[in-house]
């Protein structure tokens, strides 16, 4: 028999199969959907990560109190991001720490930074916003933020602020413009600059000179910092500088690696942590996908066994009128592959719907916007997996069908 005839036979069986037998393809639909979704997710996140990496300041090193390793606060040195504000109660970073680091080689500059959530009033409206206090001497050089209008902070600044685009446009009913005044903790703070949108949490924060911010943020004390931002002289030495900082601070703070009460992380290491996290998530999803594919394969195999049973007499008839074992084998294998193919199409549709949902599932927390849509390669890949699963599941039932003795098959009631 010709291949086109196998396909025709397999299609006719498929088109006339019962709805009940279609239910068993759900497994493969989910499996392929998961595979395609995962791959599309990690593809997009990879792209996003690379993009952010390229605009990130890789010379930045962040020191935070508390022993927890690099928190997921992206954008260190970006100024707008703010640090981990309440990571630890009784350990603080202070001026003393900055002094201790003066002797470390390769540091371009460093400054302490504080942050907190405060109620901000504007034209009678109120909103709780993140306030970051930075060193106005150096922040303008260290930040990767750019102003949309106005200017960055200057050394002589006091009760003035640079605000994120979200604060300017979205937080209050009235747009906050340059030179308008916000009220924070009873003080008037004039807006001198509005930042370009970055699409992250930084859009909703307010950046002020640290001396002014200390008086506005509850619990904040002079010379006590939430974060110390260090800028290495070049990106190549950032890791070394970071290691030396860690050493120096352990000495000056009288701690060992075991009871270390601070953490030092470079931008690069944060990116690494993020991608590690992404990897383990991908692995978890891949496991789900694998299990669904196995369940899908068993489902199809089950359907095929039932179908072969139900068609015993037809198999006998086909053999009587000249079908060889190979013909029967091919017809049922083709049928099984087609079932897989249909499951694959549905799976790819499900996968692209899931991909479309990612942005709604809070994936922005990982940063910028995750783009939507499946690539043609991924679609082809999903379909190939589905067909492969169909073929594998069909092997045993199809073989069983092909080996039926014509006489027995014809007698089957």
Partner 1 sequence: MSDNFAEGSNKDTNSSSLLKLEDVWKIYQMGETEFAALKGIDLTISKGEFVIILGPSGSGKSTLMNLLGCLDIPSKGTVFLNGKDISHLGESELATIRGQMIGFIFQQFNLIPTLNTIENVMLPLEFQNADPSSAKKKAAELLDLVGLSEKARNLPSQLSGGQRQRVAIARSLAVDPDIILADEPTGNLDSKTGTYILDFLYDLHKKEGKTIIIVTHDVTLVRYAERVVHIRDGLVESIEERQNN
Distances (CA, A) of 344 to 15, 35, 253, 348, 380: 17, 11, 59, 6, 9
Pick 229 or 339: Cβ nearer partner 1 = 339
Distances (CA, A) of 314 to 84, 211, 375, 395: 71, 88, 42, 19
For the bound state, the minimum distance from the C-beta of residue 1 to partner 1, rounded and expressed in Å, comes to: 6
Q: And the tokens for 141?
A: 């050089």
Pick 69 or 326: Cβ nearer partner 1 = 326
Contacts of 232 (CB under 8 A, 6+ apart): 59, 60, 61, 106, 107, 108, 238, 241, 242
Rounded Cα–Cα distance for residues 358 and 368 (Å): 12
- Helices (H) and strands (E) counted in the chain, each on its own, are 13, 12
Q: Which residues bind partner 1 (CB under 8 A)?
A: 1-2, 4-5, 8-9, 12-13, 15-16, 313-314, 316-327, 405-407, 410
Counting Cα atoms < 13 Å in the Cβ hemisphere of 242 gives 24
Please say whether the beta carbons of 87 and 64 come within 8 A.
Answer: yes
Pick 47 or 405: Cβ nearer partner 1 = 405
Give φ, ψ of 74 to 5 degrees: -75, 160
Task: Output the CA angle 107-111-113, nearest 5 degrees.
Answer: 145
Pick 324 or 375: Cβ nearer partner 1 = 324
Sign for the CA dihedral angle at 168, 174, 178, 183 comes to negative
Pick 7 or 396: Cβ nearer partner 1 = 7
Counting Cα atoms < 13 Å in the Cβ hemisphere of 33 gives 21
DSSP one-letter string for 22-67: HHTTHHHHHHHHHHHHHHHHHHHHHHHHHHHHHHS-TTEEEEEESS
Q: And the tokens for 144?
A: 């990767």
Pick 1 or 255: Cβ nearer partner 1 = 1
For the bound state, the minimum distance from the C-beta of residue 305 to partner 1, rounded and expressed in Å, comes to: 18
For the bound state, the minimum distance from the C-beta of residue 371 to partner 1, rounded and expressed in Å, comes to: 44
Pick 95 or 326: Cβ nearer partner 1 = 326
Rounded Cα–Cα distance for residues 407 and 316 (Å): 7
Among 238, 209, 207, 225, smallest CA distance to 56 is for 238
Please say whether the beta carbons of 161 and 191 come within 8 A.
Answer: yes
Beta-strand ranges (E) seen in 223-313 are 224-225, 227-232, 262-266
Q: What is the largest CA-CA distance in the chain?
A: 101
Pick 11 or 86: Cβ nearer partner 1 = 11
Among 233, 244, 69, 208, smallest CA distance to 129 is for 208
Cα 61 → chain centroid: 23
For the bound state, the minimum distance from the C-beta of residue 344 to partner 1, rounded and expressed in Å, comes to: 22
């Amino acid at each position: 028999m010709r291949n086109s005839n196998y396909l025709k036979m397999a299609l006719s069986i498929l088109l006339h199969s019962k709805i009940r037998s279609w239910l068993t393809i759900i497994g493969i639909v989910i499996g392929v959907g998961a595979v395609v979704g995962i791959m599309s997710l990690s593809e997009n996140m990879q792209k996003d990560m690379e993009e952010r990496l390229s605009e990130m300041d890789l010379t930045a090193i962040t020191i935070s109190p508390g022993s927890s390793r690099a928190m997921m606060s992206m954008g260190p040195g970006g100024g707008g991001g703010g640090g981990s504000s309440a990571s630890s109660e009784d350990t603080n970073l202070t001026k003393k720490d900055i002094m201790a680091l003066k002797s470390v080689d390769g540091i371009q500059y460093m400054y302490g930074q504080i942050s907190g959530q405060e109620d901000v009033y504007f034209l009678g409206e109120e909103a709780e916003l993140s306030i970051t206090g930075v060193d106005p001497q150096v922040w303008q050089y260290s930040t990767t933020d750019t102003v949309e209008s106005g200017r960055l902070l200057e050394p002589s600044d006091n009760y003035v602020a640079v605000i994120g685009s979200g604060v300017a446009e979205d937080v209050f009913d009235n747009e906050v413009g340059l030179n308008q005044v916000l009220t924070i903790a009873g003080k008037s703070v004039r807006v001198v600059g509005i930042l370009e949108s970055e699409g992250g949490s930084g859009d909703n924060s307010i950046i002020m000179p640290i001396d002014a911010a200390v008086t506005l943020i509850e619990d904040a004390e002079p010379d006590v910092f939430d974060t110390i931002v260090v800028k290495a002289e070049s990106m190549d030495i950032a890791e070394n500088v970071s290691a030396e900082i860690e050493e120096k601070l352990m000495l000056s703070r009288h701690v060992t690696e075991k009871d270390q009460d601070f953490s030092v992380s470079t931008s690069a290491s944060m990116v690494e942590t993020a991608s590690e996290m992404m990897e383990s998530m991908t692995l978890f999803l891949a496991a789900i996908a694998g299990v669904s594919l196995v369940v899908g394969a068993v489902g199809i195999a089950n359907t095929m066994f039932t179908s072969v049973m139900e068609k015993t007499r037809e198999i006998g008839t086909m053999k009587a009128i000249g079908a060889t074992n190979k013909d029967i084998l091919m017809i049922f294998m083709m049928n099984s592959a087609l079932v897989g193919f249909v499951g694959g199409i549905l799976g790819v549709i499900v996968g692209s719907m899931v991909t479309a949902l990612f942005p709604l599932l809070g994936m922005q927390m990982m940063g910028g916007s995750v783009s939507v849509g499946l690539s043609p390669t991924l679609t082809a890949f999903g379909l190939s997996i589905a067909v492969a699963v169909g073929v594998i599941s069909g092997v045993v039932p199809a073989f069983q069908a092909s080996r039926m003795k014509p006489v027995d098959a014809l007698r089957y009631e």
